[in-house]
Amino acid sequence: MKAAVVESFTAPLVVEDRPVPEPAGRQVLVRMETSGLCHTDVHAAHGDWPVKPGPPFVPGHEGVGIVEAAGERVRHLSVGDRIAVPWLGSACGRCDFCVSGRETLCLEQANTGYSVDGTHAEYALADGDYVMPVPEGIDPLDAAPLTCAGLTTYQAVKVSGACPGSRVLVSGIGGLGHLALQYARISGAETVAVDITDEKLALARELGAGHVLDARTQDVADEVRRLGGADAAICLAVSDESFLAACRALRRNGTLVLVALPAGGSLERPVSETVLDARTVTGSVVGTRQDLAEVFRLHRLGRTRVLRETRRLEDVNLAIDELMSGRMTARIVFDLR
C-alpha cells in the first residue's frame, strides 16, 4: 500500500510502499477513501511539540474509509461499513476521564497519526471502539474534515459558552475556523472572523460572519472593543500574536479558548487583568465520540458546509506548502479512492 511517511523532522515526507497491516483483537483494517490534512500533521512532521512522535510514522487523523477486515473481538462493525478515524485513536475506557465524558483527557490515550500510524495511506489500522460510523448521505470528502476540524471546533464553541446575544471572535478561518464560524452562528452568537489572507477573509464573508477583520491592517482588539468587546474568543491561528489580540478583544467576564498549538507557543498576560476582569482562559482539545456523532448529525441535517479541495497523496509535500501559505480553500483532503 501507498503511505505518506515522516522519516525525520527535518525532511519532506516520503510516499512509499508498505505492507498492508493485519487487524487483531479490537482493531479494524480500513481501506481509506480520503484523509484530511490538518495543521496538526505539519506540527507532527516537524516535531513541534514537547511530546514528539517517533519517526518513521504515518500522519493523518481525519481518515474516512471502509472496513475491509476486523479482529476477532470486533462485534459492532461489519466489513463494508464506512467509518471515520479520529485523533483519539484509543483510550483506557476505565479512568475517571474516560467514564465521565472526558475521554480526550485519558492519560493512556493513543493518537492517530502521532503515537500510532495514521490515515495518510491507502490502508490504516484503527481501534474499532474509537472509530465512528459515517451516516448514510454524508459525502466521505466532507466527513474527513468534520472528523477533526469539525469535532474540535464543535467542542471549542461549546466551551466558549457561545449563545444567542453573545459576541464570539473566531481567530483564524482555516480548516478549523471555517467550521468554528458555522457552529458559533448555529449557537446564535454574533460572530467576528479574523484572518490574514484575502482568500480566508472572503471565505468568512461567504459563510456569513457578522464582522470580518484583517489582522494585517486592522487592530483586532480595538475593532472588537468598538463593538463592545467579545464574550468569547476562539484561538485557531498558529500565532502567539493572535492569542494576545484575541485576549485584548475580550470584554469583562470573557472567555479565551486556546485551540491552536504553535511550536513553543506562549501567552503572557498580567494576573491583575484576569482577576479584575474575571476572565476565563481555557484550552480545548478535540472532542469525544459523542461530539463527533453530533457533528455528523448536524451535517446530515444540512446545517454545515465543508469547504475542501482534493489532492493526490503523492502531492503531500505540495499540499503542506499550500496549507502553510493559507491560500487554498479551508481544507485539503487526499483522495485515496
| Closest residue to ligand NAD: CB criterion | 174
Site for ligand NAD, rule CB under 6 A:
38-40, 43, 148, 152, 171-177, 194-197, 200, 215, 236-239, 241-242, 259-261, 284-286, 323, 326
Listed ranges 64-72, 88-96, 154-162, 318-326: which one lies at the site for Zn ion (CB under 5 A)? 88-96
Q: Which one-letter DSSP state was computed for residue 121?
A: B
Nearer to Zn ion, 200 or 331 (CB): 331
Tell me which H or E stretch contains 185: helix 175-186
* SS3 (DSSP) at 247: helix
What is the grid cell recorded at 178?
Answer: 471555517
Measured between alpha carbons, how far is 148 from 43 in angstroms, rounded to an integer? 15
Instruction: Provide the minimum distance between the beta carbon of 27 and ligand NAD in the complex, in angstroms, as a whole number.
Output: 24
Measured between alpha carbons, how far is 36 from 119 in angstroms, rounded to an integer? 9
Asked if 40 interacts with Zn ion (CB under 5 A), we say: yes
Q: Do residues 123 and 85 lie in contact, with contact meaning Cβ atoms separated by under 8 Å?
A: no
Backbone angles phi, psi at 171, to 5 degrees: -100, 110
What is the grid cell recorded at 273?
Answer: 487583568
Q: Which does 329 bind (CB under 5 to 8 A by kind): ligand NAD, Zn ion, none?
A: none
Q: Which does 304 bind (CB under 5 to 8 A by kind): Zn ion, ligand NAD, none?
A: none
Instruction: Provide the minimum distance between the beta carbon of 262 and Zn ion in the complex, in angstroms, as a whole number.
Output: 15
CB atoms within 10 A of CB 294: 17
Asked if 155 interacts with Zn ion (CB under 5 A), we say: no
Instruction: Provide the minimum distance between the beta carbon of 330 and Zn ion in the complex, in angstroms, as a whole number.
Output: 13
Measured between alpha carbons, how far is 132 from 292 in angstroms, rounded to an integer? 7
CB atoms within 10 A of CB 142: 24
Report the site for Zn ion in 90-119 (rule: CB under 5 A).
91-92, 95, 98, 106
Asked if 285 interacts with Zn ion (CB under 5 A), we say: no
Instruction: Provide the minimum distance between the beta carbon of 111 and ligand NAD in the complex, in angstroms, as a whole number.
Output: 10
What is the grid cell recorded at 119?
Answer: 490515515
Q: Which does 106 bind (CB under 5 to 8 A by kind): Zn ion, ligand NAD, none?
A: Zn ion
- Residues near Zn ion, by CB under 5 A: 38, 40, 91-92, 95, 98, 106, 148
